[in-house]
Amino acid sequence: MARRKFEAIGSTADIAFLLLCYFLMTTTMGDQSGLQRRLPPIPDKEQAQDQKVNRRNIIIVRINSADKLFAGSEAMDISMLKDKIKEFLTNPANDPNLPEKEPKEIEGKTYNVSKGVISLQNDRGTSYQAYIAVQNELVKAVNELRDEFAYREFGKKFSRLSEEQQDIVKKAVPQNISEAEPKDTGKK
Amino acid sequence: MSKFGSSSNKKEVPQASSNSLSDIVFMLLFFFMVTTQMRETEQKVKVTMPVASEVAKLERKDLSANINIGSPTLQYQAMYGTDARIQLNDSFKTVSDIRDFIAAERDAMSEAERSLMTVNLRVDQDVRMGIVSDVKQELRRCSAPKIMYAARKPAKD
């Protein structure tokens, strides 16, 4: 009697092993992570004129076909890009050449929200790796600014805030990265 | 001394019970069932994703459509060459096929969730941006503005 019971359990283990092998073979680990973006809608001709942004509010980050990076008008190494973007978005010295700040009321408090827009341009010959590296630096700059803002206002890191507080921070430090219309900037 | 010796000689080592074995295997099974997802399509292009430290997880996997871009794997190189190609579902496609693909993916979703659809761009790191720009422009025309550049986290923090 006891022996029969023992055998029954043994076969359950075998069946479970088979199932386990089946799942190991047919499935993959979830590895879907990445940088999320929103593409702008196709602009109408009338809209295009409305969207003209003041020159000081825009920084053009360009990657050419040799993966060289230009921010504003100067060539730059990718390691310097983050600080440049942070300076651009915060404008600590109220430089008239850097973006203006607009007081905006969010949830009963007024914050100075930068009107800066980062315009990212690339060439058809730019490698995807370089493009993602630049995208990553831009996101990193915004994330760090959000963290700093969250520390100032709530005394916590951005990721530890509640959802409502995160919304406030997101509005106060917007992530305005525009991916421009593709242009052929490489000389052929 | 002898007392201890005799008693230990007599006693057999009890056989390890295998009753818990099935429990352990089942637990492993459930772990894999929960953490993995079905492999839907065969990879026909080689995709080595670029590294990015600021990646965010895709929240709704069921609301995403995958577009793979990369050079064909070895067995397809004779037919398609080594130039970067777009793979939708199970076959090589061109930029003009994206519209139908997006429409089909949209139809498979419920009405309320269609606007939440994210297009997951799985692009090989050595691909040139030209083909990616074409895909992005086509996605804008299909009004599927939510995209994600698939990337992996660097190995160490």
pLDDT band at A186 (very low <50, low <70, confident <90, very high): very low
pLDDT computed for residue A22 by the predictor: 84
Predicted local distance difference test score (pLDDT) of residue A10: 65
Mean pLDDT of B29-34: 82
Is residue B139 assigned to a domain? yes
Whether the pLDDT of residue B140 is over 70: the answer is: yes
User: Between chains, do B125 and A132 touch, taking CB under 8 Å as contact?
Assistant: yes
Q: Which residue of A has its CA nearest to B66?
A: A32
Q: Whole-number mean pLDDT of chain B?
A: 81
Average pLDDT over residues B8-30: 77
* Distance from C-alpha of A142 to C-alpha of B54, rounded to nearest angstrom: 10
pLDDT band at B4 (very low <50, low <70, confident <90, very high): low
pLDDT at B103 over 50: yes
Please answer yes or no on whether A124 and B130 come within 8 Å at the CB atom: yes
Q: Do A37 and B149 touch (CB under 8 A)?
A: yes
Q: Give the pLDDT score at B129.
A: 86
Would strands A117-122 and A177-179 be described as parallel, antiparallel, or unpaired? parallel
State the nearest Cα–Cα gap between A96 and chain B, in angstroms.
31
pLDDT digits (tens, 9 = 90+) for B70-92: 888 888 888 888 888 888 877 88
Q: Whose structure tokens read 């065969």?
A: B42
- CA A180 to CA A139: how far, in whole Å? 17
> Residue range A27-32: average pLDDT?
68
Is residue B124, in this structure, part of any structural domain at all?
yes
Q: Which CATH class name applies to A53-143?
A: alpha beta
Of all helices (H) and strands (E), which one includes residue B147?
A: strand B146-150
Share of chain A above pLDDT 70, in %: 82
How far apart are the C-alpha atoms of A162 and A165, rounded to whole Å?
A: 5
* Region of residue B73 (left: phi > 0; alpha: psi -120 to 50; beta: else): beta
Q: Which residue of B has its CA nearest to A135?
A: B52
* A38 interfacial to chain B (CB closer than 8 Å): yes
Q: What is the DSSP letter of A35?
A: E
- DSSP three-state, residue A23: helix
- Domain tally, chain B: 1
User: pTM for the complete prediction?
Assistant: 0.75
Domain residue limits at B86: 45-149
Mean pLDDT, chain A, integer:
78
Contacts of A128 in chain B (CB under 8 A): 50, 123-129, 132
- With contact defined as beta carbons under 8 Å apart, do A109 and A152 qualify? no
| CB-based contacts of A101, cutoff 8 Å, min separation 6 | A91, A112, A113, A114, A115
* Annotated domain spans of chain A: 53-143
A28: chain B residues, CB-CB within 8 Å = 36-39
| CATH for B69 | 3.30.420.270
Q: What does the pLDDT average to over B123-139? A: 87
